[in-house]
Amino acid sequence: MRFAVGTWKNASIVVKLMIAFVLVILPLYGISIMITHTSSKQMQTEVEKAHESKLYFYHNHLQFELERMSGLVTEFSFDDTMSTLSTRAAIMSRYEVTSSLNNIHNKLGQIMVTSPYISDVVYYVPALHKRVSAADGIRNVEDGEWKDLLATMGNLNGELSYSDNNLYFLKSNPYNMNHEEPPNFILGIRLSAEELKHRLQQLAETGGSDITLSFGEQHNVVISSSDEPASAAQLQQVSPESPVSMQVTRFQSDPFLYYSLYDPDHSFTLTASIPNDVLKAPLEQYNLWLWMLTLISIVIIMIFSFSIYRSIHKPLSVLIRGFRMAEQGQTSIHIPQSRRDEFGYLYSRFNHMIERLHILIDENYVARIRTSEAELKHLQSQIQPHFLYNSLFSIKQMAEVENVELIQEFTDYLGQYFRYMSRDSHSEVSLGEEVDHALVYASIQKIRFGSRVQLQLEELSREYRDIAIPRVIIQPIVENVFEHALAKRSQGGILKLSYQVDQDKLSIRIEDDGDQLTDEILSNLQASFQESANQRSGNEEITGLMNVNQRLRIKFGTGYGLFAERSVLGGLCMILNIPWRRE
């Protein structure tokens, strides 16, 4: 938990904005998925209910038509002309029989036009060997025709009968289980299979399903809206073993979903087979919408991310990069800006801050230079009278012994020394001039100290002589050696001047063999060189070295200046580092 909180606190503003945006989008996206899923399920349920309703509608319609046909057969079976013709024919003239048959034909025609599902109405009189048809008229028949028809009565376990590929409503008078005994008459309504199929096709068109009408418990007669109807075995497989009367049952298979409705009164079954693709179409449509929503969400997130990048992350990165460059000391940077928003204000304030900082740094640099120069002049004003007194005293001693040549050499060195020290108009000189000045000072001191001091001076290579450095930076170090390391030596004093090159840095090493340097003094001296140039020591000589170190760092940077370590000679080794690059 703490790790997560810490990670969140350390995350950038852009990351936090993106996470917040995603956290807002995800619940909305989840709600959209839930709504889409619920709507698709509801739509699928409505589609299933619509198919069930269509099945119920056609069942009710067909049931009504069949009951009406059954009623017509029953009603006309009690018709006086039809019911008495067989018994009265023996006493009737031929004309009367023909007239009665024509009358019956007219009545059959009336029955036929009452329903589009009636293809024909037939009336058999076995005693007269006559058959009256609403469609075919009156003709003679053999006994085998009416016997075959009579034998099929009720063979579909209901009012309907199936004979010679046709469905009939049949009535015989009188009804006799022994079909060999001729009845007085047989009245039958033949159903139109074409019209039934046509109506099934009309219903199937609106739902993308296949509707099958089967008669008999074993689906003996099958009429389908399809040109390739299911077989009785297939219908038996998808029908329930114990069908519930007047109630739709379902059966799910791989390619289809089946709806089945059984009518026991007329022994027929309505079966609708709906492809799963049709049922899943709404779900697939909603899935398509969901994918579109997902794609739109991704596009919105990408657009939002790009806008965040352009509006916040990119300008913020420019500002951060500017601050990092400022941290590295680059005060000449400037952020170009033409924005008029908050970042435009920040850019303008940043540029103003950098300009002000550059001015303050320049002012501080100038102040430090002036302070260093003032300190240098102050030190010179203190050193020169003392040095001049010592030099004049040395000349007096040489004059007493009448050493004219040494006096000439000594005064020549003094002239060179004071001429160099009096050139205040030049703040920088070449390294060759500065080394020559330090050697002049060392030569003066060598004359004063005599054999007590030995000078080990390495010649400066010509390629380093033109390096520009601040004036009077080596002589104070040499002076410090004579004052603190060699002044009290009676013999064996050594001053060593050497040079060392390391890549882009030239080191001037000034060493002595003094025995007064303790580890504590060396540590304090090293710490003093690392401290701020604004800190001052009360020791005059140390202050002179600090002045040299400060001017070198102002000129070349903090990587250069004075560094102190113990010399291999046993005394102090002062290392003066300045930059140098080989041409």
Statement: residue 301 has pLDDT above 80: no
Q: What pLDDT sits at residue 208? A: 60
Q: How far apart are CA 575 and CA 1, in angstroms?
A: 55
Rounded mean pLDDT, 275-304:
76
With contact defined as beta carbons under 8 Å apart, do 192 and 118 qualify?
A: yes
Most confident of 6-15, 267-276, 454-463: 454-463
With contact defined as beta carbons under 8 Å apart, do 79 and 107 qualify?
A: yes
Residue 189 confidence class, pLDDT cut points 50, 70, 90: very high
State which CATH number among 3.40.50.720, 3.40.50.1820, 3.30.565.10, 3.40.50.10490 fits the domain covering 422-579. Answer: 3.30.565.10
Domain ranges for the chain, please list them: 50-185, 422-579
Rounded to the nearest integer, the mean pLDDT of the chain is 80
Statement: residue 477 has pLDDT above 60: yes
Instruction: Give, in order, the Cα–Cα distances in Å from 80 to each of 83, 88, 110, 550.
Output: 5, 11, 16, 145
Statement: residue 535 has pLDDT above 70: no
Q: pLDDT > 90: what percent of the chain? A: 16
Q: How far apart are CA 214 and CA 229, in angstroms?
A: 10
SS3 424: coil
Q: How far apart are CA 274 and CA 250, in angstroms?
A: 11
SS3 256: strand
Q: What pLDDT sits at residue 536? A: 46
Rounded mean pLDDT, 482-488:
85
Q: How far apart are CA 144 and CA 150, in angstroms?
A: 10
Q: How far apart are CA 391 and CA 64, in angstroms?
A: 147
Q: What pLDDT sits at residue 276? A: 72
pLDDT in tens, 21-52: 778 777 877 887 787 778 777 777 777 777 77
pLDDT in tens, 341-354: 777 788 888 888 88
Neighbours of 423 (CB within 10 A): 12
Rounded mean pLDDT, 460-485:
90
With contact defined as beta carbons under 8 Å apart, do 444 and 450 qualify?
A: no
Q: How far apart are CA 461 and CA 499, in angstroms?
A: 9
Q: What pLDDT sits at residue 206? A: 60
Q: How far apart are CA 38 and CA 40, in angstroms?
A: 5
pLDDT in tens, 259-275: 777 887 777 887 877 77
Q: Where are the alpha helices (DSSP H) in 422-512?
A: 431-449, 475-481
Of 313 and 500, the structure prediction assigns the larger pLDDT to 500
Across the strands, what pairs with 132? 123, 138
Residue 81 CB-density burial (10 A; 0-12 exposed, 13-18 middle, 19+ buried): middle
Statement: residue 163 has pLDDT above 80: yes
Residues 6+ apart with CB under 8 A from 231: 222
Of 46 and 578, the structure prediction assigns the larger pLDDT to 578
Neighbours of 310 (CB within 10 A): 10
Q: What pLDDT sits at residue 359? A: 77
- Pair of tokens at residue 272: 């609708």
Rounded mean pLDDT, 199-224:
75
Statement: residue 243 has pLDDT above 70: no
Neighbours of 157 (CB within 10 A): 14
pLDDT in tens, 79-136: 888 888 888 888 888 888 899 999 999 999 999 999 898 999 999 998 888 999 998 9
Residue 251 confidence class, pLDDT cut points 50, 70, 90: low
| Strands 453-457, 493-502: pairing kind | parallel
Residues 6+ apart with CB under 8 A from 482: 445, 449, 453, 495
Considering only 125-134, 372-381, 472-481, 544-553, which range has the smallest mean pLDDT?
372-381
Q: How far apart are CA 460 and CA 454, in angstroms?
A: 19
**Phi and psi at residue 465, to the nearest 5°:** -70, -25
Q: What pLDDT sits at residue 236? A: 59
Rounded mean pLDDT, 470-497:
88
Does the global pTM surpass 0.75?
no
Q: Encode burial over 231-264: b for 16+ CB neighbours within 10 A, e otherwise.
A: eeebbeebbeeebeeeebbeeeeeebbbbbbbbe
Secondary structure string (H, E, C) spanning 489-557: CCCCEEEEEEEEEECCEEEEEEEECCCCCCHHHHHHHHHHHHCCCCCCCCCHHHHHHHHHHHHHHHHHC
Statement: residue 207 has pLDDT above 70: no
With contact defined as beta carbons under 8 Å apart, do 120 and 166 qualify?
A: no
Considering only 40-49, 55-64, 276-285, 420-429, which range has the smallest mean pLDDT?
276-285
